[in-house]
């Protein structure tokens, strides 16, 4: 088994895999795991870089099995010959190329995605360090005596492109860094600082409950963070950013530092695989619900480099009807449908989401609504055409999973569990110290209490006790002494 990548998906897979069942080879250009949700904290000195990384050899070594890890890039995958072509970044072989080939029976692709613009990204430890240095450099440059006020404003304009979790969290961290630490060191220019968040959608944090988005937008407004929704960035140069809005047209603004968190592109090795298997028109690899790459044998893809092709209710409507019609009567009663409702929700999650969106308690309400709304539940019966009408709009709730660390980790853990019981799977496949959190049910937690919830979750999700202790001590140091502003 060959595993490509040591990010969230790859590391979660390796932590949960039973190594005694497979001969595992791990290939990645990065020999450590990074707790990426805390990268915004690294950019502002709240958490130190080494506190959120763990050597991958230490992670796989805890299993007590002998696992091979090679620090190299995979530049091509031969899907027919089942070979992975790699290139070392730190050494060369006899012919001087540093290239080698690895055969596989099973291949787990977890290489993530890459930045598709030339601006600063926030995906790696190096990115966070670069941003930290850039922020301090902007303040130091703005303090120089020969600059006029316009130049100072330009250097102190920090732009975040993208209103997703990373962009919002970085904007909040940067605001706190400026308000709590940098204004004390640079009092003469504190009023010239401007933080802008540019979002193409109507709101930030669109993947969360609307109440969370509204809370974040209101909090940013109180903090003086400029949130521009409905703007699409069309160009980023060294000194200015050009954006377009339907109502105002195209505008350009100077900036001191720009951070891109609005999306990523496809790695060349993934593009090549998609060409081999006929998925050229897609942005990432498409897998089935068991994370197997469609059109390949023995290849699985998890994390940001893949998306799951979810089953559609209307595509399987005949099979659903036949499965529910236990007495082969040609019609379904409410009880027959309710008996398979739980199985349907597992196979088709969009069904439960659709009922929730329509404020319906169970599928009987959906059926009654389709039949006109004035029929008693107990006496309702429907044939296959009426079932099609009742479920016609359910697939509108099918959504792609967000490209987050949580999703990648869950996929890695799930796939490892499947490999651990492969035989069974093959036989029976089935900011401001405030935060906002979406909890199970319909609960939304907002405010200072959620910030402590945020701390506890991030601490518990660390991959080792070493990083857990380091992160907590960094938070404690920051509360007592503030953030370090030295440019190192």
The answer to whether the CB of 19 falls within 8 A of the CB of 65 is yes
For tokens 């009807």, what's the residue? 321
Whole-prediction pTM: 0.79
Per-residue pLDDT at 431: 52
In whole angstroms, what is the distance from residue 209 CA to residue 234 CA?
Answer: 28
Distance of CA 72 to the CA centre of its chain: 24
CA distances from 365 to 338, 369, 370 (A): 11, 6, 9
Distance of CA 434 to the CA centre of its chain: 22
The answer to whether the CB of 308 falls within 8 A of the CB of 351 is no
Per-residue pLDDT at 208: 79
Who has greater pLDDT, 424 or 49?
A: 49
- Burial class from Cβ neighbours inside 10 Å (0-12, 13-18, 19+) for residue 84 reads buried
- 314-397 maps to CATH 1.10.238: yes
| CA neighbor of 41 nearest in space, from 134, 166, 223, 205 | 166
In whole angstroms, what is the distance from residue 157 CA to residue 155 CA?
Answer: 6
In the three-class reduction of DSSP (H, G, I as helix; E, B as strand; rest coil), residue 26 is classed as: strand
List CB contacts of 342: < 8 A, sequence separation 6 or more.
none
**First vs last C-alpha separation in the chain:** 41
- Burial class from Cβ neighbours inside 10 Å (0-12, 13-18, 19+) for residue 99 reads middle
* pLDDT class of 91 with cuts at 50, 70, 90: low
Tokens linked to 177: 């860094």
Who has greater pLDDT, 330 or 455?
A: 330
In whole angstroms, what is the distance from residue 45 CA to residue 59 CA?
Answer: 26
Range with the poorest average pLDDT among 1-15, 108-122, 204-218: 108-122
Per-position b or e across 371-398, b if 16+ CB within 10 A of its CB: eeeebeeeebebebebbbebbebbbebb
- 125-263 maps to CATH 3.50.50.60: yes
How would you classify the pairing of strands 107-109 and 157-161? unpaired
Percent of the chain with pLDDT strictly greater than 90 = 50
Per-residue pLDDT at 259: 93
E strand segments, 237-391? 240-245, 249-254, 257-260, 285-287, 299-301, 306-308, 332-333, 381-382
In whole angstroms, what is the distance from residue 94 CA to residue 99 CA?
Answer: 10
Per-residue pLDDT at 373: 63
Same topology, domains 2-114+265-308 and 125-263? Answer is yes
* pLDDT class of 335 with cuts at 50, 70, 90: confident
Question: pLDDT at residue 180 above 80?
Answer: yes
CA distances from 392 to 82, 322, 354, 373 (A): 41, 17, 11, 17
pLDDT mean over 186-214: 91
- Domain coordinates of the chain in residue numbers? 2-114+265-308, 125-263, 314-397
How would you classify the pairing of strands 306-308 and 157-161? unpaired
Question: pLDDT at residue 428 above 60?
Answer: no
Question: pLDDT at residue 427 above 50?
Answer: no
List CB contacts of 442: < 8 A, sequence separation 6 or more.
none
- Per-residue model confidence as pLDDT tens digits over 20-30: 999 999 999 99
pLDDT mean over 406-427: 81
- Per-residue model confidence as pLDDT tens digits over 297-325: 899 999 999 999 888 888 888 998 898 88
- Sheet strands side by side (includes 2-4): 99-103, 83-88, 68-78, 25-28, 2-4, 107-109, 299-301
Rounded to the nearest 5°, which phi and psi values hold at 388?
-60, -40
Pick the most confident of 268-272, 458-462, 476-480: 268-272
Which fold, 2-114+265-308? FAD/NAD(P)-binding domain (3.50.50)
Tokens linked to 417: 């569990």
List CB contacts of 137: < 8 A, sequence separation 6 or more.
487
């Amino acid at each position: 088994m060959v595993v490509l990548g040591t990010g969230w998906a790859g590391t979660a897979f390796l932590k949960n895999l039973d190594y005694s069942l497979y001969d595992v080879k791990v290939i990645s250009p990065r020999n450590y795991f990074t707790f990426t949700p805390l990268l915004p904290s690294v950019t502002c000195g709240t958490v130190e870089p080494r506190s959120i990384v763990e050597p991958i050899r230490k992670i796989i070594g805890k299993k007590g099995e002998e696992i091979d890890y090679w620090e190299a890039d995979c530049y091509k995958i031969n899907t027919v010959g089942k070979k992975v072509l790699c290139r070392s970044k730190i050494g060369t072989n006899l012919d001087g190329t540093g290239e080698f080939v690895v055969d596989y029976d099973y291949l787990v692709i977890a290489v993530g995605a890459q930045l598709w613009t030339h601006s600063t990204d926030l995906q790696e430890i190096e990115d966070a360090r670069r941003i930290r240095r850039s922020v301090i450099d902007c303040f130091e440059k703005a303090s120089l005596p020969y600059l006029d006020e316009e130049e100072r404003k330009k250097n102190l304009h920090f732009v975040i492109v993208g209103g997703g979790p990373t962009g919002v969290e970085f904007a909040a961290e940067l605001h706190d860094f400026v308000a709590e630490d940098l204004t004390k060191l640079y009092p003469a220019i504190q009023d010239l600082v401007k933080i802008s968040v540019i979002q193409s959608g109507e709101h930030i944090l669109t993947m969360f409950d609307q109440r969370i988005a509204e809370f974040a937008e209101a909090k940013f407004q109180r903090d003086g963070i400029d949130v521009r929704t409905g703007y699409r960035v069309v160009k980023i140069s060294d000194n200015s950013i050009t954006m377009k809005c339907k109502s105002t047209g195209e505008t350009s603004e100077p900036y001191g530092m720009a951070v891109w968190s609005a999306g990523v592109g496809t790695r060349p090795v993934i593009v090549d695989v998609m060409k081999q298997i006929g998925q050229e028109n897609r942005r990432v690899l498409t897998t089935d619900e068991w994370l197997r790459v469609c059109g390949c044998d023995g290849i699985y893809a998890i994390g940001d480099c893949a998306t799951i092709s979810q089953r559609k209710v209307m595509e399987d409507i005949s099979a659903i009807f036949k499965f529910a019609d236990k007495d082969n009567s040609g019609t379904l009663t409410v009880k027959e449908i309710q008996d398979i409702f739980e199985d349907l929700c597992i196979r088709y999650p969009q069904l439960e989401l659709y009922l929730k969106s329509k404020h319906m308690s169970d599928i009987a309400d959906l059926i009654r609504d389709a039949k006109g709304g004035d029929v008693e539940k107990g006496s309702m019966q429907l044939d296959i055409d009426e079932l099609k009408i009742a479920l016609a709009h359910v697939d509108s709730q099918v959504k792609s999973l967000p490209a987050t660390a949580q999703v990648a980790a869950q996929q890695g853990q799930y796939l490892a569990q499947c490999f651990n019981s492969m035989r069974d799977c093959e036989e029976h496949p089935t900011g401001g110290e405030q935060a906002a959190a979406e909890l199970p049910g319909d609960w939304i937690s907002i405010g200072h209490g959620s910030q402590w919830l945020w701390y506890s979750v991030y601490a518990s999700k660390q991959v080792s006790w070493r990083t857990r202790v380091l992160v907590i001590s960094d938070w404690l140091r920051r509360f007592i002494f503030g953030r370090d502003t030295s440019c190192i």
